[in-house]
Amino acid sequence: MTRAFLQGLVLFFLPFVLFGLYLVIRRRNALAWSSWNDQSFWLAIAGLAMVIASLVVTGLMSERHTGTFVPTHIENGRVVPGQFQ
């Protein structure tokens, strides 16, 4: 769960980081609010779009298991891991 949360955070903040790098390359003050004022709304929209797109792609491309799940159990004195059958 932590990995999924951190991936979402990274994808959300990626447009902000890229815009900050753009400001540095253009030799503008990346810490001045006036540089970010007009763009912050669109950067947030771009970040949310990236997070939503990643969730959709993950949902569409994730592995689907068919059959029934047999939970972990003990058979003849040894542990048999859970599996789909």
pLDDT of residue 26: 82
**In whole angstroms, what is the distance from residue 32 CA to residue 39 CA?**
12
Question: What does the pLDDT look like over 40-75, one tens digit per residue?
Answer: 999 999 999 999 999 999 889 988 878 898 999 999
pLDDT of residue 30: 77
22: which 2 tokens? 């753009």
Distance of CA 17 to the CA centre of its chain: 15
How many other β-carbons are positioned within 10 Å of the β-carbon of residue 15?
19
